[in-house]
Amino acid sequence: THFGYQDIPLEEKQGRVDDVFRSVARRYDIMNDLMSAGLHRPWKDAMATALSPSRTRPFKHLDVAGGTGDIAFRILDRGGAQTHVTVLDINGDMLDVGRERVPARHAGQVDFVEANAEDLPFEDKSFDGYTIAFGIRNVPRMERALSEAFRVLRPGGRFLCLEFSKVDMPGLDKVYDLYSFNVIPQMGKMVTGDAESYRYLVESIRRFPSPGLFAQMIEEAGFRRVTWKAMTGGIVCLHSGWKI
Ligand code: SAM
C-alpha cells in the first residue's frame, strides 16, 4: 500500500477513525456531496428502497454508523407511522448534527444512541432491520460488528450493508484511482485542513474485502440468502442477508 497505515495496531484504528469524524462532523454532509459528486444520494436511496419497511405494520429499525441520519431519514420516508429508527454511532458529534436535522414530519420516530458497532447495547432479537452505510469499513473488528448485527435482529430480520467496493469497469478504474488518491485528499485538505485523514479513508477502501469474500463473512455471522449488487461500475456495493 502507498502510505503504510497497514501497520497501525488494531486498537489505534478506532481512534484514528474517530479523529476524522470528529473533525469533519459539521462539514460532513457537504463533504459527502462534494466528494461523491452527489452520488451518495442515489446510493442511499437504493439502500432504503431495498429495505422497503412496512407502511402499515410496526417496523423497528437500527441504522449503525448512522452518522448524521441520511439513511434513517430515507427509511422513515419509505415506512409508515409505526416505523421507528434508532441511529447508532460511536461519535457523538456526528449524532448531534443528526439530531438537528430530523425532519419535523419524523419527530418522535427516531432516536440517537452513542455506542460501538462491535458491542451493541440492545437485547437479542430486538430489531426488524439493520443497516450500515459506509461504516463497516471503519470498524476495526468487522466480524464482531456482523455477529452483533445477527444477534440484535429478530428471526426474519433483514441485514443491509452499503460500502465502497472494487471498480470493475475498464477505464473507470484508472479515473477512480486518480480521483481517490489525488482529488479526495486535496478536497479533504481544502475543507478540513487535513489531507492525512482522507488518505487513511481512501486506503481503507482499498483494503476492504471483495464482494464475494465479504458475502462469505456475512454468512459466517449466521445470515442466509446473502446477495450483493454492485452500483456505478462497482464504486459501491449493496450486500443483503436474512436472519432465518
Ligand atoms: N452512515 C452515514 C452516511 O452514510 O452518511 C455515515 C457514514 S460515515 C462515512 C462513517 C461513520 O461511522 C461515522 O459517523 C463514524 O463515527 C462511524 N463509526 C466509525 N466506527 C464506528 C464504530 N466502531 N461503531 C459505530 N460507528 C462507527
Which triple of cell numbers denotes residue 99?
A: 439530531
Q: Is the CB of 36 inside a 6 Å radius of any atom of ligand 1?
A: no
Mean pLDDT of the chain: 93
How close are the terminal C-alpha atoms of the chain, in Å? Answer: 39
Q: Which residue has the higher pLDDT, 6 or 176?
A: 176
**Atom of ligand 1 minimally distant from the CA of 140:** 23
Give the torsion sign (CA, 39, 42, 46, 48).
positive
Contact predicate 237/230, CB 8 Å: yes
Confidence of residue 142 (pLDDT cuts 50, 70, 90): very high
Q: Is the Cβ atom of 17 under 6 angstroms away from ligand 1? A: yes
Question: Residue written as cell 462534494?
Answer: 34
- DSSP alpha helix (H) spans, 137-194: 142-152, 172-178, 184-192
Instruction: Return the ligand 1 atom nearest residue 94 CA.
Output: 14
Q: Give the Å distance between the CA of 63 and the centre of ligand 1.
A: 10
**Which of 88, 91, 93, 131 gets mutated to test ligand 1 (max ligand atoms within 8 A of its CB)?**
91
Cα 223 to ligand 1 centroid, rounded to whole Å: 22
Reported ipTM: the value is 0.99
176 — phi, psi (to 5°)? Answer: -65, -40
DSSP 210: P
SS3 114: strand
pLDDT, one tens digit per residue, over 148-172 is 999 999 999 999 999 999 898 999 9
Closest CA to 233 of 160, 170, 184: 170
* CATH of region 25-166+208-242: 3.40.50.150
**Among 132, 102, 99, 134, residue whose Cα is nearest residue 113:** 99
pLDDT tens digits, residue range 57-101? 999 999 999 999 999 999 999 999 999 999 999 999 999 999 999
How many Å apart are CA 209 and CA 79, to the nearest integer?
A: 32
Phi, psi at residue 124, to the nearest 5°?
Answer: -55, 150
pLDDT by residue (tens digit) across 19-41? 878 878 888 888 889 889 999 99
Of 80, 84, 55, 82, the C-alpha closest to 72 is: 84
Residue 140 near ligand 1, beta carbon < 6 Å: no
79 CB under 6 A from ligand 1? Answer: no
Residue 18: pLDDT over 90: no
Cell numbers given for 84: 421507528
pLDDT band for position 237 (cuts 50, 70, 90):
very high
Which pTM does this prediction carry?
A: 0.94
Order the strands of the 224-231 sheet from edge to edge: 110-114, 83-89, 59-64, 127-133, 153-164, 236-242, 224-231
- Taking a C-beta distance cutoff of 8 angstroms, is the pair 243, 222 a contact? yes
Which cell numbers in the block locate residue 212? Answer: 464475494
